[in-house]
Amino acid sequence: MTIKPLFDKVVIRSVETIEKSPGGIVLPGSAQEKPQMAEVIAVGPGGLIDGKEVVMQVKIGDKILYSKYSGSEFKLDGKEVTILRQSDILAIIA
């Protein structure tokens, strides 16, 4: 299934990370915080939003950091994705 976000929306998929405690113990998923690193899988066209021209700064495949409690989570082809506004993206990881 393909997804095409509207306006300044971006679809992201969380990047799995293995978290360890300071003592080197691997933490299970339930003990970890919500990940804030993701990969962009779809990008809206931008355009005129609330009277301001929005140019999209991210592209498909970019790795990003985003605000902890932003966006809405959905299941797409059995995988968790999040749709958020471009303004909720904090940085692109190079």
Q: What is the pLDDT along the chain (94 residues), one digit of tens a residue?
A: 789 999 999 999 998 765 665 677 776 655 455 668 999 999 999 999 889 999 999 999 999 999 988 999 999 889 999 999 999 999 999 8
Q: Which domains does the chain have, with CATH numbers?
A: 9-16+33-93 (2.30.33.40)
Residue keyed to tokens 């495949």: 61
The pLDDT of residue 19 is 62
Determine contact, residues 13/79, Cβ cutoff 8 Å. Answer: yes
The pLDDT of residue 17 is 62
The pLDDT of residue 4 is 94
Residue keyed to tokens 């021209």: 53
